[in-house]
Amino acid sequence: MEQLMRDFFLFLSKNKALTKLAKKYGLRFGASRFVAGETIDLAVKVIKDLNRKGLAVTIDYLGEFVDNEHEANEMADNSIIAIEAIGREKLNSQLSLKMTSMGLDISDEVVMRNMRRILEAAKKNNVFVTIDMEDFSRCQKSIDIFKQLRSEYDNVGTVIQAYLYRTEQDMKDLNEYHPNLRLVKGAYKESPEVAFPEKKDVDENFKKIIAMHMLNGNYTAVASHDEAMIEYTKQFVKENNIPNDQFEFQMLYGIRTERQLELVKEGYKMRVYVPYGTDWYGYFMRRLAERPANVAFVLKGMFKK
Ligand code: FDA
């Protein structure tokens, strides 16, 4: 049943008509629990509040799967607005983005131009940029672009997904770039030909790549709400004398909020991924897919007056 619901929400997350409708009608159905707001001003307010509580942030102007150049340029402009707000307001925040919103599916020229514009603005404002990893069909291209950009800029990192079979080899290939990587389990619906279908195998691979990346001396962001992965990381860094400034935990805005604060109290660096903007629909559906228990929360929100 849980798998069925998961597939259903992942299917809904890709529906273009619903995406458009959602943009038109604004944050609905409890999405504001996971999305900071529709404007940069609202996002800045949320970030200031999180920073005050000792939480670092990575901000994401929501958008994905853009198929025309005008819109891709606009998405990049909005990311630059976010970077400038971080600089101006002296926020403790990085930026995250999806390359399909910067023109990845349009042409190499469009996506590279937009990425370089963003990374230049980020360099000027001392902001680190993480390229989120999207579905498997875009993985190779995303990694190739990351390698190119990493050879030009210091302030760029990307994401590696534990559910893919190819991940261990990708980590080995990326090691020469000493990348700052966010490690995650993986959020998209992938076929068993490319990804571990069983949670226990994904978890094992997750632990394996956390260990690999840390022992190679690279900066590691462990992005998970799973207590078992958090405990594993804590134990691993203790046993291997990994200093606290070589890793951080990351969680999504609105998920396990109390645990985020506890980890700060325990002395760990904790970064919250804060999405904002009008294109919230796909992101919201993936959060529901991860945890069907959230659906009850959404239904309550829908019927509450
Ligand atoms: P898992 O889903 O196994 O959950 C373990 C436990 O965590 C649950 O039992 C529950 O207690 C809690 N939990 C998990 N999800 C919850 C929810 N929605 N609400 C309440 N509790 C919940 N993916 C990707 O493919 N590309 C990317 O670039 C990113 N980027 C990214 C950034 C950050 C900061 C995070 C935290 C995650 C991502 N992800 C991602 C998503 C990631 O791949 C994965 O889908 C989710 O983090 C869910 O997996 P977990 O590791 O949290 O554990």
pLDDT digits (tens, 9 = 90+) for 147-206: 999 999 999 999 999 999 999 999 999 999 999 999 999 988 899 999 999 999 999 999
With 0-12 CB in 10 A as exposed, 13-18 as middle and 19+ as buried, what is 181? buried
Domains delineated in the chain: 35-279 (3.20.20.220)
> What gap in Å lies between CA 35 and CA 275, rounded to an integer?
5
> What gap in Å lies between CA 157 and CA 143, rounded to an integer?
10
User: What ipTM is given for this predicted complex?
Assistant: 0.94
Average model confidence (pLDDT) across the chain? 90
Best residue among 290, 295, 297 to mutate for probing ligand 1's pocket (most ligand atoms within 8 Å of CB) is 290
> What gap in Å lies between CA 96 and CA 274, rounded to an integer?
9
> What gap in Å lies between CA 22 and CA 24, rounded to an integer?
5
Residue 130 has pLDDT above 90, yes or no: yes
Buried b (16+ CB within 10 A) or exposed e, 253-289: bbbbeeebeebbeeebbbbbbbbbbbbbbbbbbbbbb
Q: For the CA atoms of 28, 49, 273, 74, what is the dihedral angle to 10 degrees?
A: 70
Nearest CA to ligand 1 atom 50: 224
Closest ligand 1 atom number to CA of residue 225: 52
- Which tens digit of pLDDT belongs to each residue from 38-55? 899 999 999 999 999 999
Average pLDDT over residues 93-107: 96
Describe the crossing of helices 69-88 and 40-52 by its angle, rounded to 10 degrees: 40
pTM score, whole prediction: 0.90
Ligand 1 center to residue 263 CA distance, Å? 17
What type of residue sits at position 40? Answer: I
Residues with CB under 6 A from ligand 1: 132-133, 159, 161, 182, 184-188, 223-226, 229, 250-252, 255-256, 273, 287, 290-291, 294
pLDDT band at 284; cut points 50, 70, 90: confident
